[in-house]
Amino acid sequence: MEILVLLCNGFAAESIGAEPRISRKTVYNHMNRLYAAFNVKCRDEMVAKAWALHLVTEKDMRFLDRRKEPEPLPNWAAAQQHMNRGVLKLW
């Protein structure tokens, strides 16, 4: 879910992997698994499907202005990250 939210917010793979400290290749693996699970071919389709299925909400969507400090992750994502500490589980 964390990867999905960051993906929907337009983060690059390097930025997605920075917070949970996972490699770019691991991020791409997670993204490809999401694409396969939701039968989509690209980021735009994934964002549209996640929005249509209410997997992400307006509260999750934080398009960043690169001139400002990024906002912290939503509470549920930060709590899960804290619990998993280096192990990312998608399902």
pLDDT exceeds 90 at position 68: no
Q: Which residue's structure tokens are 């690059």?
A: 12
- Strand locations in the chain, DSSP E? none
pLDDT digits (tens, 9 = 90+) for 12-57: 888 888 877 888 899 899 999 999 999 999 888 998 999 899 898 8
33: its two tokens: 């698994």
pLDDT exceeds 50 at position 78: yes
Higher pLDDT: 33 or 61? It is 33
pLDDT exceeds 80 at position 1: yes
83: its two tokens: 């619990």
Q: Which of 46, 25, 47, 27 is nearest to 37 (CA)?
A: 46
CA dihedral sign, ordered 87, 16, 80, 68: positive
Architecture of the domain made up of 2-84: Orthogonal Bundle (1.10)
**Domains of the chain by residue range:** 2-84
pLDDT level of residue 91 (50, 70, 90 thresholds): very low
Minimum mean pLDDT among 1-5, 50-54, 55-59, 84-88: which range?
A: 84-88
Name residues whose C-beta falls within 8 Å of residue 69's C-beta, 6 or more positions apart in sequence: none
